[in-house]
Amino acid sequence: MIRRIISLSLLALTPLSAQGEPAVLYATHCAVCHGDDRLGSLGPALIPESLRRLKGDKLEAVIAQGRISTQMPGFDAQISAEDITELAAYLHTPLPEIPVWNAERIAETLEVNPDYVAPDAPQHDADPLNIFVVVETGDHHISVLDGDTFDVLARLPTPLAVHGGPKFTPDGRFTFVMSRDGWVQKIDLWSMQEVARLRAGVNSRNIAMSKDGKYLAVANYLPHSLTILSTADMSVERIFDVVGKDGESSRVSAVYQAPQRDSFILALKDIPEIWEVATDPKADPVYEGFVHSREKGMVEAIASSEGLFARRRIEVTEPLDDFFFTPDYRFLIGAARESDRGVVVNLNVGRETHELPLSGLPHLGSGISWEYQGRRVMATPHLREAKLSVIDIQNWEVLTQIDTDGPGFFMRSHENSPYVWADVFFGPNRDVMHVIDKQTLEIVKTLRPVPGKTLAHVEFDREGRHALVSLWEDDGAILIYDAQTLEEVKRLPMSKPSGKYNVFNKITFSDGTSH
Ligand code: DHE
């Protein structure tokens, strides 16, 4: 069989312990596209961290039949079914050790677009702040939409498996897109061109922009690190190896910008700590409440250096992730996955202050907030229960729960809209979108524009006049609704559109959108 023909150089790079049949199969058939070390090359990394969604026999099916809209061919004519099973199991096996992904290695991955020329002004007639970036995961592109006319201004290829929201510089000119394989792409929205890309991590979660737009932080599962890049030239400014107070290292679940604090906040997957990293060069590492907390031994408040990138640890009782922040960024709610509760952390004094009973996997990162009868509330969907929880964020009580047609993933609103839009992402009703009155907390309309097709994720234009919804299918579309009448006014075909992001709403941290 073909698998017996194998280059010695490839085998030499495979650990001896792994040089059984599947390693040979890998080196023969996969390494040329996915890298000798399984960390990805032309194709994505083939490691458990990247293959979570291909459990059971799904990975075997991809190896056998290939993947549409990609360069992945089917191998069923070349590899026997038994060998495919073995190969799939091998790919789900962790690497023998966490790969080194240091500044030198990251810098080597930099790819600068030779055709990029920085323009002096926007090269289009659209309102540069009312532009949408739409991520199309079906064929790995972004489309850039004019938020007034809804014309597609440009369509650009992205790295594979883009996840999370693109982040924008504060002037709205540049956007950064990240893939689960750690690639970060810089795009100039004035010229609609890619500027450069580089691989900041091996398996990454999301990115966050610093308040001044000078730095971009990349949260990594592999290695256990936070990579901070200069947004100007994408050079590495700092890598934090994420190691807890007790010496245990941790994956970074996510990194968020906290604009009022001029810092990054890190959710850590494996250790009971939250990190705050200053992004203000003049940052004073002594935060409000620090002295009080230090007396109680609650905040270690170490600044790894004073000023820029000073790092502070906040200890919590168990690892928390998926953060919702109050609009003033004094408090966050994190999900404690082991105990079905939401935990409120006061970031100023650096300690947990309240607990919320939140079962069914609340998706706090999708939470949004608004004024309800003179009180500030937030609402969150639940990934495993057909409800939305509405929480009073002054007294930290669950005000009510709204029953839905199934568990949802995303929620959206806008300051100028009386409605909250909440999708149903799982189950037989994943083709509907609920529209909820912000003041009665009742579902006033349930949209089902294309029965049987997943409808999810909403974003408003800058004035809140239109709501854009994804028909989340390979032959999908962006459905544009009048945000007052709730009537569909336009439909744009797209390839499995996931999130869409309005520049103005993002850079102004609109209450109704994700941050
Ligand atoms: Fe996401 C945002 C984590 C699965 C689509 N998702 C985020 C963010 C985090 C996160 C931390 C915030 C990042 C940001 O924008 O800066 N997502 C997770 C998970 O832990 C989870 C549940 C499991 C995982 O596989 O990582 C998960 N996410 C998914 C999906 O299965 C989705 C539906 C499809 C996909 O593309 O992977 C998905 N996540 C998204 C989208 C956003 C996102 C579209 C941006 C939302 C926004 O409006 O900002």
Residue located nearest, by CA, to atom 4 of ligand 1? 163
**Which residue puts its alpha carbon closest to atom 8 of ligand 1?**
164
Q: How far is the CA of 169 from the centre of ligand 1 (A)?
A: 21
Residue 163 CB–ligand 1 contact under 6 Å: yes
- The pLDDT tens digits for 199-232 are 999 999 999 999 999 999 999 999 999 999 999 9
What pLDDT does residue 182 have?
96
Inform me whether the pLDDT recorded for 297 exceeds 70: no
Decide: 26 in ligand 1 pocket, CB within 6 A. Answer: no
Rounded mean pLDDT of 282-310?
A: 53
pLDDT in tens, 344-378: 999 999 999 999 999 999 999 999 999 999 999 99
- pLDDT for the residue numbered 2: 28
Q: Can you give the pTM of this predicted structure?
A: 0.89
Question: Does 206 sit in the ligand 1 pocket, CB within 6 Å?
Answer: yes
**Residue corresponding to tokens 């990054």:** 264
pLDDT category at 306 given cuts 50, 70, 90 is low
pLDDT tens readout for residues 116-134: 999 999 999 999 999 999 9
Question: Does ligand 1 lie within 6 Å of residue 514's CB atom?
Answer: yes
First to last CA, the chain: 53
Does the CB atom of residue 409 touch ligand 1 within 6 A? yes
Residue 168 has pLDDT above 70, yes or no: yes
Nearest-atom number in ligand 1 for the CA of 52 is 25
Coil, strand, or helix at residue 122? Answer: coil
CA 235 to centroid of ligand 1, rounded, Å: 26
Q: Is the pLDDT of residue 10 over 50?
A: no
22-92 adopts what CATH topology?
Cytochrome Bc1 Complex; Chain D, domain 2 (1.10.760)
The pLDDT of residue 414: 97
Which of 50, 163, 167, 410 is the pocket-test mutation for ligand 1 (most atoms within 8 Å of CB)?
Answer: 163
Ligand 1 mean position to 295 CA, how many Å?
38
User: Which residue's C-alpha comes closest to atom 36 of ligand 1?
Assistant: 163
Residue with CA closest to ligand 1 atom 37: 163
The Cα–Cα gap between 98 and 102 comes to 12
Q: Which residue, judged by its Cα, is nearest atom 48 of ligand 1?
A: 514
Distance, in Å, from the CA atom of 284 to the CA atom of 504, rounded to the nearest integer, reads: 30
Phi-psi region of 371 (alpha: psi -120 to 50; beta: other; left: phi over 0): beta
Q: Mean pLDDT across the stretch 245-270?
A: 96
Q: Which of residues 394 and 290 earns the better pLDDT score?
A: 394
Strands 225-230, 215-222: parallel, antiparallel or unpaired by DSSP?
antiparallel
**pLDDT surpassing 50 at residue 332:** yes
Domain positions in the chain: 22-92
Distance from residue 163's CA to the centre of ligand 1 (Å):
6
Place of tokens 């004519």: 77
By the 10 Å C-beta count (0-12 exposed, 13-18 middle, 19+ buried), 361 is classed as middle
Which residue spans within 8-106 are E strands per DSSP? none
Strand-strand pairing, 183-188 and 193-199: antiparallel
Is the confidence at residue 6, as pLDDT, over 80?
Answer: no
Per-residue confidence (pLDDT) for residue 285, from 0 to 100: 53
Least confident of 64-68, 213-217, 330-334: 64-68
